[in-house]
């Protein structure tokens, strides 16, 4: 991969704390294979090792296969803008995978995957599993230069996901939270709601499945403090609506 100016892009890899031994990183076979055989990094090859939310390290592969030396380390920068929690009703496998990838690129702090009345039952495992979504999120975070991984949970019943969203991913007063329900019915436009919600530290965004929420689920969400918000007159696909709203939130917050 090359940057826009023709220089080789920085290769990034999230690492686990238990892999670090002093100034060495002892890579498992999968990660070692990725760096050496997929990215073609030989001894001395440089990459950025990221310890989720704790450190960004410059590292170089050594002669010994699967071992890298830490050359420098620094704390990751503070995240700009509000923390974002996305509560997304589970979608079909390809759409769900795409949404996880794009939501990670847009910097969600948490992604709660919910089951709703109109969620189509899906088999466990394979392309439609939490472990697979976590792999997609990790790869997306490495590609876009993130220094923190989103917390993925689910699939959860909608009521549980709504309750869990009350736990903020950052330390902030509950009164600072803004909870939004994307709704195709009559509701204030998202941009107008955001104008009144400047300075919040944590935004929770609730998006329905392909068939939308039932009226009972909308009432449940509103009872949990979620404010209906519209993206305009067009009826958007669930995955399109989620990403459009996240992009607007990032734009408005300047992050």
Pairing of strands 55-61, 46-51: antiparallel
Residues 105-118: tens digit of each pLDDT: 999 999 999 999 88
Question: For the domain 83-253, what is the CATH code?
Answer: 3.40.1280.10
Domain boundaries, the chain: 12-74, 83-253
- Interval 161-169 mean pLDDT: 79
CATH for 12-74? Answer: 2.40.240.20
pTM for the whole structure? 0.87
The pLDDT tens digits for 41-90 are: 999 999 999 999 999 999 999 998 999 999 999 999 888 788 899 999 99
How many CB atoms sit inside 10 A of residue 91's CB? 25
- Of the chain, the percentage scoring pLDDT greater than 70 comes to 87
Q: What pLDDT score does 76 carry? A: 92
Q: Is the pLDDT of residue 255 over 70?
A: no
DSSP 235-251: ---HHHHHHHHHHHHHH
Taking only the tens place, the pLDDT of each residue in 119-145 is 876 655 556 789 999 999 999 999 999
**Topology alike, domains 12-74 and 83-253:** no
> Per-residue pLDDT tens for 3-42?
333 345 689 999 999 999 999 999 999 999 999 999 999 9
Residue 6: what pLDDT?
Answer: 37
> In the β-sheet with 202-207, what is the strand arrangement from edge to edge?
151-157, 110-115, 83-89, 202-207, 177-182, 227-229
Least confident of 19-23, 68-72, 161-165, 191-195: 191-195
Please answer whether residues 251 and 106 qualify as being in contact, where contact means their C-beta atoms are separated by less than 8 angstroms. no
Q: How many Cα atoms within 13 Å fall on the side-chain side of residue 207?
A: 28
């Amino acid at each position: 991969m090359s940057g826009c100016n023709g220089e080789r892009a920085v290769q990034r890899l999230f690492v686990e704390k238990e892999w670090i031994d002093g100034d060495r990183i002892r890579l498992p076979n999968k990660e070692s294979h990725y760096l050496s055989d997929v990215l073609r990094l030989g001894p001395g090859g440089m990459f950025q090792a990221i310890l989720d939310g704790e450190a960004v390290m410059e590292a170089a592969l050594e002669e010994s296969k699967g071992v890298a030396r830490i050359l420098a380390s620094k704390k990751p920068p503070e995240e700009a803008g509000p923390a974002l929690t996305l509560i997304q009703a589970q979608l079909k496998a390809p759409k769900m995978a795409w949404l996880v990838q794009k939501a990670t690129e847009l910097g969600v702090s948490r992604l709660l995957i919910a089951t709703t009345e109109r969620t189509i039952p899906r088999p466990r495992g394979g392309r439609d599993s939490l472990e697979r979504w976590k792999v997609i999120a990790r790869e997306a975070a490495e590609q876009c230069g993130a220094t923190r991984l989103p917390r993925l949970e689910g699939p959860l019943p909608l009521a549980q996901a709504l309750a869990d969203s009350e736990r903020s991913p950052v330390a902030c007063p509950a009164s600072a939270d803004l909870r939004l329900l994307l709704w195709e019915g009559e509701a204030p436009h998202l941009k107008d709601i955001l104008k009144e919600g400047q300075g919040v530290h944590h935004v929770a965004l609730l998006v329905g499945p392909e068939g939308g929420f039932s009226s009972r689920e909308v009432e449940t969400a509103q009872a949990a403090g979620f404010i209906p918000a519209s993206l305009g007159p067009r009826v958007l696909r669930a995955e399109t609506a989620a990403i459009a709203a996240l992009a607007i939130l990032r734009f408005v917050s300047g992050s």
